[in-house]
Each structure stands twice: as structure tokens, then as C-alpha cells.
């Protein structure tokens, strides 16, 4: 009888530009490439682990080494398999996501259908994606903004002391709508509200994680008074967090690497929508593998920020594309990728 065979390998993504957000700066992102083979068919997955989140190629390898997936002879038992994986050890969110994505790719390939079709979504309903402009000198910000002209939404990283300069520099180049991510960089709710009121006059659409996630009362106050939606990112990990954030934030930013993969990210987006919250689908620096997996879910998102594969120089997959600023799905089975290296 056929069984599930797991293979994994460390790989380092090279970033085109040094990436600076409010809390850190870096030029590479460590990932694990995951393959699940069953009866000659290979499903691809990926675990992307920006260092500040605490996982590493070492912790992921140790996690994978604990798994005995060969005990499963039916890959269609997705819930049973992923519940087993989730219970092996706490946390290890990205490692779990790598297995989840590979399993979805495998099952989709066995069925001969992409996941957005299996779930019943319309490929035309995908959102536009934002393109991220990191914190940098005005010259570099202008250059990056010019290069981002095909995108219909820009994402500006703020939260250091040059926020207004960042936005004003982008506005010298373009009137494209901007979303803003402070990555918990502001500390005072009154200053944050002042800032947001100014941002609202600059064509900014929403603000992600303005204050540290621990300042729950301040964030709830800010959301009540803010002219722009306030979106939780760092404050959100998994499905069990979603309902608690209602009333504190306007919406949530779901990422496969936080959510342990496609299955739970799907549940989170559905729950958030049912609670009347705004939905956003984000990413880490990832190859087209994880980005294509996330895009299968993207018709549930009001906004997408799925540009992680566009910020690297050594992608290993061909997958979904951005066409006229909008995520474009393809008809390939599974998560919609082929390996190109
Ligand atoms: Mg964010």
C-alpha cells in the first residue's frame, strides 16, 4: 500500500533589497523546502522563518524528524493528518505550514484540481495585492515606488521617526492607494491617532498593527476613534485568536506561516468574515510556492499583501502571477506551482 513520504531541505532566500521594518533589518530569509510524496506524486510545501519569529531551519528540522507520516496511507484524511502534526509539539507554526501546504498540493494533484476550485471560489474574485516599500532613504524609496508602478496598492512600512517623510516621498511619485504597517512601532495612542488622521488625508486605506499588541485597551480606543480600519497582524496567530480580536481591531491579517497553513488560514478568514471583520491575507518573504498556496484562498480577503516572492532573487517555483496589480490564479492542480530549479 502507498504511504506518505516526507522530504525536507534548508534553503536561504536572497532579498533584492535590505529589508527594514520597525523592529529589524535583514538581507536573507531562511526557509525549509518540504516535499510529500505519495504513489509517485509529489506535493510541494514551504516553511518561511524570518528570524525574529523564533523558528529556524534547526527547529523545523527537529520538528520534521519527529513526524511519522508513513503511518498514513490515505492523504485525503487531511484533518486527521494535520491534527496529528499539530499535536507533535506546540508552536512550530511555519514548520506545520510547510507540511500543510505540501499535503494540500499533493491532494489537489491527485484530484487534478486547484484548491480554489475544490473550495468553490471564483478565480476572478482575487484581490489586488500591495507591493511593500521598506523604510529607507528618500532616494531609495522613490526608486522602489517608481518600480512598483504596475501595482494598484502600495504598502509602506512606518513606525520609525520618519513616517511622514516616507509617505510624502511616495506621494511625490504616485497617487496609488497606500496601506501602512507600523509593526507595533508607535507607542502612544494619541500620537498614533494624530498620525492616522494625517495618513487619512494622504490616500492611505488602512493601518496595520499601529501599537504593541499588549496595549489592548489603547488599540480598542484607537480603532473606535480612527478614520481608517485598524488591522491586527502581530496580535494574531491562529484560529483561536480571531474572535477575541473582534471589537479591538477592525480586521485581521492572516498569514499561512502564522496560521499553520491553508486549512486553518481558510477557517480564520471564514470566521472573520462571519464576525463582520475586515480580512487581509499576508505573507513572509517566501517563494512562489507559499504565495501560490495563499492565493488559492485570496477571494476571501478584502486586501492581499502577497508580494513575498517578488522581493527575492532566487525563487524555486513558477506559480501565481500579479497581472494589472491583481493576483492571478492558474489552472494547475494543487497549489498551482511547478518547480523550476
Ligand atoms: Mg504586518
The three three-digit cell numbers of residue 279, written as one number: 480580512
DSSP assigned state of 309: G
Average pLDDT, the chain: 95
Query: Shortest CA distance to 173 belongs to which of 200, 223, 138?
Result: 138
Burial class (CB in 10 A: 0-12, 13-18, 19+), 122: exposed
Residue with grid cell 523546502, as numbered in its chain: 33
d(CA 339, CA 341) in angstroms, rounded, equals 6
Per-residue pLDDT reduced to its tens digit, 31-48: 999 999 999 999 999 999
CA of 254 relative to ligand 1 center, distance in Å: 10
CA of 232 relative to ligand 1 center, distance in Å: 8
> Predicted confidence band at 17 (pLDDT cuts at 50, 70, 90)?
confident
Counting residues of the chain whose pLDDT is more than 90, the rounded percentage is: 91
CA of 289 relative to ligand 1 center, distance in Å: 20
CA of 163 relative to ligand 1 center, distance in Å: 16
Per-residue pLDDT reduced to its tens digit, 197-236: 999 999 999 999 999 999 999 999 999 999 999 999 999 9
Does 16 have pLDDT greater than 90?
no
Per-residue pLDDT reduced to its tens digit, 55-104: 999 999 999 999 999 999 999 999 999 999 999 999 999 999 999 999 99
pLDDT of residue 103: 99
> What pTM did the predictor assign?
0.96
CA of 233 relative to ligand 1 center, distance in Å: 5
Q: What region does 335 belong to: left with phi over 0, alpha with psi -120 to 50, or beta? A: alpha
Amino acid at each position: 500500500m502507498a504511504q506518505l513520504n516526507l522530504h525536507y531541505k534548508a534553503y536561504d532566500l536572497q532579498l533584492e533589497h535590505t529589508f527594514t521594518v520597525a523592529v529589524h533589518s535583514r538581507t536573507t530569509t531562511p526557509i525549509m523546502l518540504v516535499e510529500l510524496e505519495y504513489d509517485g506524486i509529489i506535493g510541494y510545501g514551504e516553511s518561511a522563518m524570518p528570524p525574529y519569529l523564533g523558528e529556524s531551519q534547526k527547529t523545523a528540522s527537529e520538528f520534521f524528524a519527529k513526524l511519522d507520516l508513513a503511518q498514513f496511507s490515505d492523504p485525503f484524511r487531511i484533518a486527521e493528518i494535520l491534527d496529528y502534526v499539530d499535536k507533535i509539539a506546540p508552536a512550530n507554526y511555519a514548520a506545520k505550514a510547510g507540511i500543510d501546504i505540501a499535503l494540500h498540493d499533493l491532494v489537489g494533484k491527485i484530484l487534478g484540481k486547484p484548491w480554489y476550485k475544490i473550495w468553490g471560489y471564483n478565480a476572478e474574485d482575487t484581490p489586488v495585492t500591495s507591493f511593500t516599500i521598506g523604510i529607507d532613504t528618500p532616494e531609495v524609496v522613490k526608486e522602489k515606488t517608481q518600480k512598483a508602478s504596475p501595482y494598484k496598492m502600495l504598502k509602506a512600512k512606518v513606525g520609525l521617526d520618519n513616517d511622514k517623510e516616507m509617505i510624502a516621498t511616495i506621494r511625490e511619485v504616485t497617487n496609488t492607494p497606500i496601506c501602512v504597517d507600523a509593526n507595533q512601532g508607535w507607542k502612544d495612542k494619541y500620537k498614533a491617532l494624530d498620525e492616522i488622521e494625517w495618513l487619512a488625508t494622504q490616500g492611505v486605506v488602512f493601518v496595520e498593527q499601529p501599537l504593541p499588541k499588549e496595549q489592548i485597551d489603547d488599540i480598542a480606543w484607537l480603532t473606535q476613534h480612527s478614520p481608517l480600519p485598524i488591522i491586527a497582524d502581530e496580535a494574531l496567530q491562529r484560529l483561536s485568536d480571531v474572535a477575541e480580536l473582534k471589537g479591538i481591531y477592525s480586521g485581521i491579517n492572516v498569514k499561512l506561516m502564522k496560521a499553520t497553513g491553508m486549512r486553518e488560514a481558510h477557517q480564520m478568514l471564514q470566521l472573520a468574515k462571519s464576525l463582520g471583520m475586515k480580512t487581509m491575507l499576508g505573507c513572509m518573504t517566501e517563494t512562489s510556492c507559499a504565495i501560490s498556496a495563499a492565493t488559492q484562498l485570496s477571494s476571501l480577503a478584502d486586501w492581499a499583501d502577497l508580494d513575498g516572492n517578488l522581493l527575492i532573487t532566487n525563487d524555486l517555483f513558477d506559480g501565481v502571477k500579479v497581472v494589472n496589480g491583481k493576483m492571478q490564479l492558474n489552472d494547475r492542480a494543487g497549489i498551482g506551482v511547478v518547480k523550476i530549479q
